[in-house]
Amino acid sequence: MLTPHRTETRRLTWLRPALFGLAVLILIGLIGLLAMDLARKLDKLDRATSDNVEWQLSQMEVEYLGLVDVLENTRTAADLPELRRNFDIFYSRISTFREGMMFDGLRQAPGFSVTLDKLAGTLDHFVPAIDGPDSALLAALPEIRAEFRSHRPTIRQTALNGMVYFAERSDETRNSIAATLERVSAVTAGLIAALVGLVFVLWHFYRRAQFHSREAESSGARMTAVVETAPDGVIIADLGGVIRDFNDAAQRIFGYDRSEVIGRPMAETIVPQDARAAHEAGMKRFVETGEARIVGRGPVTVTARRKNGEEFPLELSLSTSHDAEGGAIVISFVRDITHRVAAEQELRVARDTALAGQRAKDRLLTVMSHEMRTPLNGMLATLELLEETGLNDRQRRYASIIGHSGETLLSHVNDVLDISRIDSGAETQTASTQIMDFGAIVRDIVDEQSALAQRNGSRVLADLPKATTVRGDPAALRRIFANLVGNAVKFTQNGRIEVSADRLGSSDMVEFRIKDTGLGIAPEDCARIFDDFVSLDASYGRSTSGTGLGLGIVQRLVRKLGGEITLDSKLGEGSLFRVRLPLPSAAEPAAARVAPAAPATPPVRIVTSEPLRILVVEDNEINRLVVREMLETIGHSVTEAVDGIDGVQAAAARRYDLVLMDISMPRLDGVEATRRIRSGGGASCSAPIVALTANALPHEAANFRAAGMNDTVTKPISRKSLQRALDLATGRGGAPAAHRPKDGSGPVNLAQLDELRGEIGQARLEQMFGLFRSEADATVAWLSDAPAHGVPAAEALAAVHKLAGSAAVFGARSLHAHLSELDNMAKLGQLDQACARLPEISPIWADTVAAYECIDSLAPRRAARIAASG
C-alpha cells in the first residue's frame, strides 16, 4: 500500500518529465516559429533593399531620358532653368551611385564602375557650362546634346549590369538562407512529428479564422472603396450626432479635412445655425421613439454650411445601419446641388425674360399696327374719296403714285405682323382640313405675276401634273408661291421663270420647283437668304426694295405645314427653290374644292335699303372724316365721339343701329367702353358693336369678342370692310342683328360666301350649296344619333372631320368651329369626350340654316324650297 508520501512522490516523478517535455515542445515550437519569422524578415529585408536599388537604377535611366528630352527642346534662354534643373537631378543621381554606402557592392560589379566613371566624367566636364552664363550654355548646347545622345547605350548597359548584379546577390542570399532552414528543419523534424496532431487541429482553426478574416477584410475594403470613390458625399455619425467617418466627396463639398471633423458633432459642423434646433430635435425623436421623417424617405433638399460659413443647397438621403460593435449609426448621402439650383434659376430667369420679351414684342406690334396703319387708313381711304371727285389726268397720276406707295408700306407692315403671328403660333394650322386644287392656285399666281414679268422682258411658265387635287392649306400655299414666284419675277430681267411640281413616288410629299434665270445668289449668301430682314444688295442691286421678310415667311409656313425648302443658286446663273410639302391626294367632291373656276365675276356688293343711325367712336380726326364721308355718301346718319367716354355717353343717350368702335383711345379704350355700353342698360346696349382696329393679332380679336363686340374690321378702312359692318347691322351678314349671339361672330361668314361666289359664279355656288345642304343635313342627323346607336367613335369622328372641311368652304363659322374643336379633341385622344358632345351639333346646324335663309345670294335656293313645300 502506498503511503501518501510515496503517492505524492510518484505523482511528482511523472509530472516533472511531462512538464519538462511540454516545456521542450513549447521551446521547440517557439524556436521553429522564430526561425521561420527570421527567415521571412531576412527575405523581406533583402527584397526591400534590392527593390530600392532596382528603383534607383530605373530612375537613373528615367532622369537621363528627361535630361535628353529637355536638351532636345531647349532653344532659348527661357528654357535654360529647366535644363539646369534636370542636369542637377541627373548629376545627383550619378553621385549617389558613386558615393552611397548602399551601392558599395554594386560598384565592385564588373563594368559598372567604368561606365559610372565615364558618365561622371561627362557630367563634370559640362558643369562649368551648366553653371556659367546663359550665353555660354546656349553656345555649348550642340556639344552637350551630341555627348548625351551618345550615352544612351551606356545608360542602358549600366542599369542592366546593376540589376544583374543585385539579382545574383539576391539569389545567393536566398540559397544560403534556404540551406540553413533545411538543416534546421532536418534537426527538428522528429520533434515536430510529435506535434503533428496538435498542429493539425490548430491549423484547422487557424484556416477558418484566416478565411473569415480575409472575408471581413475584403468586404471592408470593398465598402471603403465604394464610399471613398462615390461621387456623392457620405457622412457616418452615431445616434449622438458625432461624426464617425467623412469620405473624400464630403471633404470636397464642405471644405473640411477628415481629421478636422471626426469626433465633432454634425450639427455644429455642417448644419446652419438656424436649422440646428430642428436637426437636434429630429435626432432626439429618432433615438427615443424610432420615428423617422427623413430616414429612408428618399432625397430631400436642405440647406447646409461649408467650412468657410457659406450656406448652400444640399440634396440629402439618410439611412441607418450598425457598426462592428453592434451600435446604431446614421449614414448620410449628400449631394451639392448648387449648380443645379443655379441652372434652374437661370432657366426660370431666361424663361421669364423670354416671356417678358415676347410680351414686349406683342405690345410693340400692337402699337406699331395702330400708329402705322392708322395714318395709312386715313391716306388710302382719303385717296379713295379723292378719286371720286373728278380728278384730271395729272392729278389722278399723282394720286395713283401715292396710293401705290401706301399699298407698298402697308405690305411691309403686314409682312412684320405675319412674322409675329406665325412665330407666336397665333395662326392655327389648317393643313389637311380642306380639299383644294394646288394646280389652280399656282396657275392663278402665274397669271397674276405674268404682267410684271412682261414689263421685265421675262416669261412665267407652269408645268404641273394632271392630278392636283389634294388636302392641305390653300391660304398658306398661296402665300408661299406668291412670295417665291414674286421674288423670281422681281429679280429676273429678260429671262424665264419656270414653276413645276411632281409627286414623289407614292408618298404624300409633293415637290414644287421655282426656277429662274435671274441674277442668282452667291454661295456664302444662300444660308442666310431665309433670315429676317436680309436683302442682298450686292447680288440684286438697288433697283429692288422690300423688307427682306418674304422668304422668312415662306420658310416659317413651309415648316408649319411639315415640309422643307432648299435653295440651289449660282451668282449670275439664276436660282432654283425646291419646296416639299405633305399634300395627300384627295377625291374632288363637288361641294368642297377650294379653287377658282373659269372667269370669275366680281362679288355682288350689298347695299342697305334704308339709312342707319351709326355712332363712330374714334380719336383720330382723319379716320372719323373718312368713315363719315364713306357712310354719308350712301345715305347713313353719322354721330362722332372722340374717345371711349364720349362714346359710352352717346350710346346711353340714343338708340343707334350700329356702333363703330376704335380700340386704342385716350381716357377710355374701346374694349372697356364696349363693356360699359353692354352693362350700362342704355339706349344702345344691344346695338351691334364692330371694332375698328389696326391690331391684327388673332388673340386681340378674341379679347374684343369677350368684351361684347360683334365683329372686327381691320384698318385701313375701305368701303368693302365697312359694308361688312353694315351687313351686320341689318342682319344681312347672318342671323338678324337682334338674334346674333353675344360674341358677335355669327353662324355664317358672309365674306367667305361672297368670295366663293366671286370665284365660281352665282349658278355654280347655288349648285354646290345644294349638295352641301343635302350632305350636311344627312350627316348632322346621323351624328346626333350616333352615341345612342353605338356607332364606333373613330367612324363618327371621321365624319366630323369631313363635314368640318365642307363647313369651312361655305362659311358655316359656328358649325366649323364646333366641328374643329371635336376634331382636335379626337387628335388628342379624347374620343369619349368628343363623342359625348356630338348631340350639340344639331342646334348649331339649325342656327346656321336659319342664317343661310337670310342671305340674298342663296335666295333662289330658298324660293325653290318654299315653292316645293307649298
Q: Is residue 345 part of a domain?
A: no
- Please say whether the beta carbons of 641 and 615 come within 8 A: yes
Are residues 116 and 59 located together in one domain of the fold? yes
Are residues 170 and 244 located together in one domain of the fold? no
| pLDDT value of residue 189 | 64
Q: Which of 7-21, 82-96, 164-178, 625-639 has the lowest mean pLDDT?
A: 7-21
Over residues 172-192, the mean pLDDT reads 66
Is it the case that residue 95 has pLDDT exceeding 80? yes
Per-residue cell: 673: 367702353
Range ranked top by mean pLDDT from 110-119, 603-612, 635-644: 635-644
Supply the CATH number for residue 277's domain: 3.30.450.20
| pLDDT value of residue 653 | 93
Q: Which of 317, 336, 355 is the last residue of a domain?
A: 336
- The sign one gets for the Cα dihedral 643, 644, 647, 649 is negative
| pLDDT value of residue 197 | 63
Is it the case that residue 39 has pLDDT exceeding 80? no
- Please say whether the beta carbons of 645 and 667 come within 8 A: yes
- Please say whether the beta carbons of 328 and 322 come within 8 A: yes
Q: Mean pLDDT score of the chain, rounded to an integer? A: 76
| pLDDT value of residue 596 | 39
Q: Is residue 694 part of a domain?
A: no
Q: Is residue 278 part of a domain?
A: yes
Are residues 554 and 507 located together in one domain of the fold? yes
Residue 529 lies in domain: 438-578
Each as own residue / partner, the long-range contacts of residues 56-61 (CB below 8 Å, 24 or more positions apart, any chain) are 56/93, 56/96, 56/97, 57/158, 57/159, 57/162, 57/163, 58/159, 59/93, 60/90, 60/93, 60/94, 60/97, 60/155, 60/158, 60/159, 61/155, 61/156, 61/159
Is it the case that residue 640 has pLDDT exceeding 90? yes
Q: Is residue 404 part of a domain?
A: no
| pLDDT value of residue 761 | 62
Q: How confident is the model at residue 281 (pLDDT cuts 50, 70, 90)?
A: confident
- Quote the CA–CA distance of 64 and 149 in Å, as a whole number: 10
DSSP 3-state percent helix, strand, coil across the chain (nearest 5):
65, 15, 25
Is it the case that residue 783 has pLDDT exceeding 60? yes
Q: Which of 543, 578, 613 is the last residue of a domain?
A: 578
Q: How many residues does the chain have?
A: 870
Are residues 166 and 250 located together in one domain of the fold? no
Is it the case that residue 256 has pLDDT exceeding 60? yes
- Quote the CA–CA distance of 656 and 114 in Å, as a whole number: 124
Helix H or strand E encompassing 677:
helix 670-680
Are residues 531 and 564 located together in one domain of the fold? yes
Query: Do β-strands 469-472 and 574-582 pair in parallel, antiparallel, or remain unpaired?
Result: unpaired
- pLDDT tens for each residue of 517-563: 988 888 777 777 777 666 654 333 344 444 566 787 888 889 888 89
Are residues 785 and 835 located together in one domain of the fold? yes
- Please say whether the beta carbons of 702 and 712 come within 8 A: no
- Quote the CA–CA distance of 379 and 366 in Å, as a whole number: 20
Over residues 614-641, the mean pLDDT reads 84
| pLDDT value of residue 21 | 64
Supply the CATH number for residue 557's domain: 3.30.565.10
Over residues 185-213, the mean pLDDT reads 69
Share of the chain above pLDDT 70, in %: 72
In 3D, which of 698, 699, 690, 697 has the Cα closest to residue 647? 690
Helix H or strand E encompassing 437:
strand 434-437
Are residues 199 and 111 located together in one domain of the fold? no
Over residues 80-101, the mean pLDDT reads 84
Beta-ladder partners of 503:
510
Q: How confident is the model at residue 644 (pLDDT cuts 50, 70, 90)?
A: very high
| pLDDT value of residue 670 | 92
User: How many distinct structural domains can be found in the chain?
Assistant: 5
Q: Is residue 239 part of a domain?
A: yes
Share of the chain above pLDDT 90, in %: 9
Are residues 174 and 241 located together in one domain of the fold? no
| pLDDT value of residue 136 | 85
- pLDDT tens for each residue of 363-386: 666 566 556 766 776 677 777 777
Are residues 118 and 51 located together in one domain of the fold? yes
Q: Which of 25-34, 129-138, 187-196, 769-778 has the lowest mean pLDDT?
A: 187-196
Q: In what order do the strands lie in the sheet with 300-305?
A: 243-246, 233-238, 328-336, 311-322, 300-305
- Phi, psi dihedral angles at 460 (to 5 degrees): -115, 125
Q: Tell me which of 424 and 619 has the higher pLDDT.
A: 619
| pLDDT value of residue 362 | 62
Q: How confident is the model at residue 654 (pLDDT cuts 50, 70, 90)?
A: very high
Q: Which residue has the cell 351639333?
A: 841
Q: How confident is the model at residue 12 (pLDDT cuts 50, 70, 90)?
A: very low
- pLDDT tens for each residue of 665-683: 888 999 999 999 999 889 9
In 3D, which of 683, 691, 734 has the Cα closest to residue 710? 691
Are residues 868 and 758 located together in one domain of the fold? yes
- Quote the CA–CA distance of 640 and 660 in Å, as a whole number: 10
- Residue 261 neighbours by CB under 8 Å, 6+ apart: 243, 246, 254, 269
| pLDDT value of residue 740 | 35
Q: Which of 157, 187, 217 is the last residue of a domain?
A: 187
In 3D, which of 603, 551, 541, 527 has the Cα closest to residue 759? 603
Q: Is residue 866 part of a domain?
A: yes
Q: Which of 41-45, 92-96, 501-505 has the lowest mean pLDDT?
A: 41-45
Q: Tell me which of 217 and 335 has the higher pLDDT.
A: 335
Q: Is residue 401 part of a domain?
A: no
Are residues 289 and 327 located together in one domain of the fold? yes
Beta-ladder partners of 594:
436
Q: Is residue 598 part of a domain?
A: no
Is it the case that residue 605 has pLDDT exceeding 60? no
Q: Tell me which of 549 and 81 has the higher pLDDT.
A: 81
Are residues 74 and 146 located together in one domain of the fold? yes
